[in-house]
Amino acid sequence: MTRVLVTGAGGLAGVNFVRALRASPRKHYIVGTDFNRFHILYPDVDARYPTPRHTDREFVPRVAEVVEREGIEFLHPQPSSEAYVVSSRGADIPCRTFLPPARVMRVGQDKLLTEKRLRAKGIPVARTYQLEGRQDVRAAFKELGAPLWARARHGAGGRLSLLCKDAAEASLWIDLWVRRGGDPYSEFILQEYLPGRNIAWDSIWRGGRLVTSYSRERLEYPFRHISPSGITGTPSVSRIVSDRRVDEVARRSVLAVDPRPNGAYSVDIKESADGRPCITEVDSGKFHSTMPLWGYIAVKHLGLPEYANLADLYVRLGMGEDLGEVPPETDLLPAGYYLLRDMDVGAYLWREDGFKLKVL
């Protein structure tokens, strides 16, 4: 039994991570923290504690206090913002983690830095214009053409993204957020619009070696019709896909930000008009929200070996355990399965041949 602490445990990803650990034959003692007093009620944990937000100076001391009190051996900070703070100040928390160093995670926290790093290594990315001020919006459209994808450099879930058909639209959008949020113009980038498939590549690495990975295509987002960009963070419909080109470019992108990857790396890919997979994000130290859910489904409903429970695999590797059976490096999950999920409807596994199974 391992005593595990999951931070952000009340978020979708946290709830999925805890559920997957519960499906492991190793009986974990699980503690959850969250700053939201309602969401903290959701995960199936043995003990729950409120914490301040990760931006609060008290966040790390509070997590350390919970670790001490509960005799925690392994800490999984689920939201990447919290993982980054933990990685930066990990020495203050007396237990194991399985995170990349903060200097690596910093690259993933900034979409502009990521784009520059990947481009320098010859990895396909969207052509990007860095804004310094209002006057640059027109210049960006002149240089890159139209339409363009506006996005914030920091944050998750497609923060402040919008497809803009011309400079006037982009200026109105960005001006609004600069006025409201106090973000400077330099917080925004304008990118070539990538209209093709939206793909996630989820992976776990140890000591510089890829342990396992799989790819899925996002097909729908919840509430997309009432969101300006249509991107609402986590998909309501996605399917497992298998694509060598995706595996190759995603693997190279992880190695471009971290020569010795260690932990979980979630890569986002969007295809260009001519079908070229371009990297939009390399989130190091991060489990995408449905990664633990897919792992749970793999062992509970698809009959895959224990190693396919990705949350459990992550804790075992993070605890320094040697795996008996070795998972495949790519295509951990079989192509063709769809995961359908939405508020109040539960979650279903589905295939084009009519197979349907309620999984939550």
Ligand X SMILES: Nc1ncnc2c1ncn2[C@@H]1O[C@H](COP(=O)(O)OP(=O)(O)O)[C@@H](O)[C@H]1O
Q: Which residues lie near Mg ion (CB under 5 A)?
A: 268, 281
Please name which of 287, 273, 275, 231 lies closest in space to residue 249, comparing C-alpha atoms. Answer: 275
194 binds ligand X (CB under 6 A): yes
In whole angstroms, the minimum distance from the beta carbon of 195 to ligand X comes to 7
Cα 117 to Cα 57, 102, 159, 251, 330, distances in angstroms: 30, 16, 21, 14, 24
Q: Binding residue for ligand X (CB under 6 A) from 198, 203, 234, 330?
A: 198
156 binds ligand X (CB under 6 A): yes
Stretch that binds ligand X, among 36-44, 65-73, 156-164, 253-261 (CB under 6 A): 156-164
Stretch that binds ligand X, among 3-11, 12-20, 97-105, 189-197 (CB under 6 A): 189-197
Contact 309, 296 (CB under 8 A): yes
Nearer to ligand X, 24 or 109 (CB): 109
Nearer to Mg ion, 268 or 271 (CB): 268
Helix axes 136-144 and 167-181, enclosed angle (nearest 10) = 140
In whole angstroms, the minimum distance from the beta carbon of 316 to ligand X comes to 27
Beta strands in 143-290 (DSSP E): 148-152, 162-164, 188-192, 198-206, 209-220, 237-241, 263-271, 277-284
Interaction mask 248-277, ligand X, x per CB under 6 A: --------------------x-x-------
129 binds ligand X (CB under 6 A): no
- What order of strands is seen across the sheet that includes strand 338-342? 277-284, 263-271, 198-206, 209-220, 237-241, 338-342, 346-350, 356-358
In whole angstroms, the minimum distance from the beta carbon of 200 to ligand X comes to 8
Residue 238 tokens read as: 């996605």
161 binds ligand X (CB under 6 A): yes
Contact 298, 308 (CB under 8 A): yes
Q: Binding residue for ligand X (CB under 6 A) from 71, 133, 157, 346?
A: 157
280 binds ligand X (CB under 6 A): yes
Q: What is the DSSP letter of 243?
A: -
Q: Residue 48 CB: number of other CB atoms within 10 A?
A: 18
In whole angstroms, the minimum distance from the beta carbon of 219 to ligand X comes to 11
Stretch that binds ligand X, among 36-44, 148-156, 202-210, 313-321 (CB under 6 A): 148-156
**Distance between CA atoms of residues 125 and 268, nearest Å:** 11
Nearer to Mg ion, 160 or 299 (CB): 160
**Distance between CA atoms of residues 349 and 270, nearest Å:** 24
Given the rule CB under 6 A, which residues bind ligand X?
A: 126, 149, 151, 156-159, 161, 191, 193-194, 198, 231, 268, 270, 280-281
